Amino acid sequence: MNFQVYNRDICVGDIRVIGVSSSSLLMVGDAETIQLAATFDTPAESLIVGPFVPLSPDIS
Amino acid sequence: MLQRITCVDHIKIDSVSFSSIFQIGDSEQILAVSRALAVQREAEIFFDNEGNFDAFPVFSEAIPFQPPDEEIIFSTHNLNPVLKVRNIDILGASSSSIVHLGNSRNIAMEARVKHIRQLLPRNNNSGEEGI
């Protein structure tokens, strides 16, 4: 594939962002490669009903 | 080839936390990893020294990445070599995130989050539907 880009005038007024979080990127500039990955686990799979028991301890 | 430069008149960031970076200027390589165990309990209870990333596969499973299967002949022509932004306003950057003004080469970022919710035991005689 032949991919050609002509960057002409880029002039932005205001950028307003609430949050950039969890390995996110806000960039004003150029990059050759950008590789982003995310995994996310949330209930119902991780919903625990019952007495409060600690998670397995941090052994590191 | 002439690189583009970034011109930002004004930037305001209220907070940069948990290994986040505010980078002004070019960089070469960025590798950012964020791991989080987000535990919510119905009662206010906190155990010290808990949480082991190795116990949850979400922190070790491979995230598949598809490399391009075709050769790309890539060329850019920067007719106007200035990226201009008048104003940037960010409330917060958190958890290995990056606010970058300037150019970079290779950027790789990864986030793994496990949410756990612990609820108190319910009485099932009320006929109420479970969550």
The closest alpha carbon to B39, from A38, A48, A1, belongs to: A48
**pLDDT single digits (tens) A16-57:** 999 999 999 999 999 999 999 999 888 776 777 877 778 888
* Cα–Cα dist A15/B85, whole Å: 8
Judged by DSSP in three states, B59 sits in: helix
Structure-block tokens of residue A32: 């050759």
Examine residue B130 and state whether it is found in any structural domain, yes or no.
Answer: no
Residue B94 lies in domain: 5-120
Q: How many domains does chain B have?
A: 1
Q: Is residue B51 part of a domain?
A: yes
Domain presence at residue B112: yes
Name the residue among A14, A41, A42 with its Cβ closest to that of B86.
A14
Q: Is A45 on the interface with B (CB under 8 A)?
A: no
- The answer to the question of residue B17 being in a domain is yes
Flag whether B129 is in a domain: no
Tens digits of residue pLDDT in B68-120: 899 999 999 999 999 999 999 999 999 999 999 999 999 999 999 999 888 88
Q: Is residue B85 part of a domain?
A: yes
